[in-house]
Amino acid sequence: MPGRVPPWARAGRTVRSIVTHEHTRTTARVVTRHGAYVFGGARIVTRRAWEARTAARYERMLRAAEVAGNYEVAAEWEERGQRFRAARHQRRMDMLRAPVTAAKGAAVGT
């Protein structure tokens, strides 16, 4: 049978026609674009959460002020960072003492 096309060639043509079809290309573009939005948003949320829990924001601003040669602002950011760390430490210590304080309050209340 001289006119017969081998199965692997038919499969290759089918795959090629599917991959190069305009609907497939449009769908791939949409999925890629929306995936990039999700990735970018997750990156922003992660960075904001990290900066909320650490002194990274103060350190970044301190470095930027030092690079710019503005040492007065750098000292201000250093002070803000130290206050943030002290407040965070106090909050953590309060959380450790909270159960004992609540138990004492309950005992005194009864």
pLDDT tens digits, one per residue of 23-57: 888 998 999 999 999 999 999 999 999 988 899 99
Is 8 part of any domain? no
Q: Which domain holds residue 99?
A: 19-109
Q: Is 0.85 surpassed by the pTM of this model?
A: no
Give how many domains the chain has, as a whole number.
1
Q: So what's the pLDDT on residue 12?
A: 80
Is 63 part of any domain? yes
pLDDT above 70 covers a percentage of the chain that reads: 97
Is 57 part of any domain? yes
Does the pLDDT at position 2 exceed 80?
no
Q: So what's the pLDDT on residue 24?
A: 86
- Convert 50-86 to b/e letters by CB count within 10 Å (16 or more is b): eeeeebebbeebbeebeeeeeeeebeebbeebeeeee
| C-alpha R_g of the chain | 30
